[in-house]
Structure 1
Amino acid sequence: MTTIAEPAVEAPALGLHTDLSNESYHADKTSLSSSGARKLLPPSTPAHFRYEQDNPQPPSKTFDYGNAAHKLVLGNGPELAVIEYDTWNTKDAKAAVAEARERGAIPLKQHEMDMVDAMAAAIRRHPLAAALLDPAYGAPEQSGFWLDEATNIRRRVRFDWLPSHQEGRLIIPDYKTTTDASNAAMQKDIDKYGYHQQADWYETGARALGLGDHTAELLLIAQEKKPPYLVNVIGIPFGSRVIASAKNRHAIETFAHCESTGHWPGYADHEPNYLELPGYAEHRDKELYLS
């Protein structure tokens, strides 16, 4: 039996795309995104990155809430489908959820829809967040592709929002949903999720794409997913950006090397990793047993 190979997906052209679908953006496996760059670095590995590229993650409630909030806050995204069942463990409810996902919609219970409606309303009441996401002065979900000068690999970015007026310093808002938007919690999340790397990536992309006057700053708009749906607008200081730039450069070079060799390494290929005790454990046990 002869099998017919699926036609290769044509990579988007270099430059800014104002109407590229989210599916087309993520379908481009020839370019490296900010989230991909972070996946290449410890504690992850290139092997994890390659697996996730080849095996997209299934839907989850966490992603559903975030995507639904993005839809209502930014005004662009998949359909939100309220599934009119109290529980989703019946045959009819499961069929309704599956049908919604099949057509590309996000299935939600009514109380979940009420939650994301309330989140969008809270954003509109927040003076700074509302100004940054004013639909009269910007547009959501715009994609950019450019060549990295040092390695010649394709890099990509999908801006949550781009201002329509791009003279002077360009401010790039990026919307995040979270359980805790306090300064202390977000400081940990910046490290945990690499938001400083995202800031450097997006700002580099904006400059490469000729947006603004070659200066750009990403601001995180973090919003809690529980009442009163508080909002915290956060900038990334210069020192953290310097670190982020170095990490991104390492990720880009790792990607370029893996692409050229076809080898996507995991933890250890040929030699064992010798691991010391964690510092706190070594200090504890020395005090208890060696003193």
Structure 2
Amino acid sequence: MNQMNLTSGVYRDLSDDQYHADPSDRPSLSSTLARVLLNQSPLHAWVQHPKLNPNWEPIDKKTFDIGRAAHRAVLGRGGDYKAIPSDLLASNGASSTKAAKEWIAEARAAGITPLKAEEVDQIGEMSAIAAQRMADNGITLDPANSEAVVLAEIGDVPCRAMMDNAPTDPSQPLYDFKTCVDASPDACVRAVMNYGYDVQARHYLDCWKAATGEERLFRFIFQEKSAPYEVCVVQMGNESLMMASKKTARAREIWGHCTRTDHWPGYPDGVISIELPEFYHAKWLERESAEADHKRHYGRDVLDAAGRWQAPEGYAAE
């Protein structure tokens, strides 16, 4: 793909492939790369950047298919998806035949996500439920505003973001749609912490303000990938966003330094001394205490009781 060299602004007509190839006029920092910088190293970020690594190739996995198709169905933009013709599948329904593999390869080459018929039905159910839940919450996702690419300079650092939906009304929030296994509020909190979605939210808000001057809200729409396909809309609290701003500022500082010096270090040299967190030790101390209590109460080690419970039939422990 030919590289683009666009300047700061909001672009509503760029494809997903063009975004991931980095359309900025200089190597730009995405929220994904910001999290790589913070959680791994600049070297890892360099490897994942299309304008820095000459051997870069986009990553495409089967596990992305449901999420990609759901994005298309819910947001109204993005690569299309189609069912693999049933007569090409093996007798057990697997896409392992030569004909099915060829059809899948051709579909992917054309930017189409290949799915089985039951997966297409699944996407239809997800889309219908997402539409109803969003209507219940007064949320309208106009396809014309989906996948809006934002390019901005923040402190002389080029940054980019792709908003899943960016309403033109500045009083409306920006939205990011995510498929997941569990969309309960507690699970959403864990997902934000595990995947650094707080950094994503802050990076997107910073990019939008730098490009447009607008202060916006930001919300995640989480939807489960299995029945009942429930939806949870999440908005980050002010304190969490304030803490995330420290992380994004640090990521931009690292990115700016590395691009200026063209030095992309990996992990620290030498032997790294580590200490495991207190909660890890606490789990063992709790077990140790419980086993000591058992021995005081029953006069025997808990292992003796376990041996008797689990002994094969006819075996009598001495």
Normalising by structure 2, what TM-score? 0.80
Post-superposition offset of 1:56? 3.6
The answer to whether the 8 Å contact 1:123/1:231 transfers is: yes
Post-superposition offset of 1:236? 0.3
Alignment-derived partner of residue 110 in structure 1: 117
Instruction: Give 1:200-239 correspondences, 5 Å limit.
Output: 200-210=202-212, 214-239=214-239
Alignment-derived partner of residue 313 in structure 2: none
Say if 1:281 and 1:13 are closer, same or farther in 2 by CA, change over 3 A: closer
Q: Give yes or no for the alignment of 1:148 onto 2:154.
A: yes
Post-superposition offset of 1:235? 0.7
Alignment-derived partner of residue 164 in structure 2: 160
The answer to whether the 8 Å contact 2:141/2:165 transfers is: no
Per-residue CA deviation, residues 133-184 of structure 1 (Å, 9 max, x unaligned), is 3428x621111111112xx121111111111323xx3411211100000011
Equivalent residue of 2:177, what SS? strand
Alignment-derived partner of residue 186 in structure 1: 188
Per-residue CA deviation, residues 215-258 of structure 1 (Å, 9 max, x unaligned), is 21111110000011100011100111111100011111111111
Of all paired residues, the percent bearing the same amino acid is 34
Post-superposition offset of 1:131? 3.5
Per-residue CA deviation, residues 97-148 of structure 1 (Å, 9 max, x unaligned), is 1111111111111111111111100011114577423428x62111111111
Q: Give yes or no for the alignment of 1:9 onto 2:3.
A: yes
Counterpart amino acid of residue 94 in structure 1: K
Alignment-derived partner of residue 34 in structure 1: 31
The answer to whether the 8 Å contact 1:18/1:141 transfers is: yes
Equivalent residue of 1:234, what SS? strand
5+ long unaligned stretches in structure 1: 1-5
Aligned partners of 1:76, 1:208: CA distance in 2, in Å? 25
Equivalent residue of 1:24, what SS? helix
Alignment-derived partner of residue 260 in structure 2: 260
Aligned partners of 1:100, 1:130: CA distance in 2, in Å? 36
The answer to whether the 8 Å contact 1:160/1:175 transfers is: yes
The answer to whether the 8 Å contact 2:178/2:221 transfers is: yes
5+ long unaligned stretches in structure 2: 289-318
Alignment-derived partner of residue 64 in structure 1: 65
Post-superposition offset of 1:61? 2.6
Alignment-derived partner of residue 51 in structure 1: 47
Equivalent residue of 2:145, what SS? strand
Alignment-derived partner of residue 3 in structure 1: none
Per-residue CA deviation, residues 260-283 of structure 1 (Å, 9 max, x unaligned), is 2222222213x3211123324445
Post-superposition offset of 1:81? 2.1
Equivalent residue of 1:132, what SS? coil
Counterpart amino acid of residue 192 in structure 1: N
Equivalent residue of 1:31, what SS? coil
Aligned-residue CA RMSD in angstroms? 2.4
Say if 1:144 and 1:281 are closer, same or farther in 2 by CA, change over 3 A: closer
The answer to whether the 8 Å contact 1:123/1:130 transfers is: no
Say if 1:125 and 1:257 are closer, same or farther in 2 by CA, change over 3 A: same
Equivalent residue of 2:6, what SS? coil
Aligned partners of 2:61, 2:149: CA distance in 1, in Å? 24
Equivalent residue of 1:219, what SS? strand
Alignment-derived partner of residue 296 in structure 2: none
Post-superposition offset of 1:197? 1.2
Alignment-derived partner of residue 174 in structure 2: 172
Post-superposition offset of 1:63? 1.2
The answer to whether the 8 Å contact 1:15/1:209 transfers is: yes
Aligned partners of 1:247, 1:92: CA distance in 2, in Å? 49
The answer to whether the 8 Å contact 1:74/1:133 transfers is: no
Equivalent residue of 2:244, what SS? helix
Give the strand-richer structure, 1 or 2: 1
Aligned length: 275
Aligned partners of 2:261, 2:31: CA distance in 1, in Å? 22
Alignment-derived partner of residue 87 in structure 1: 94
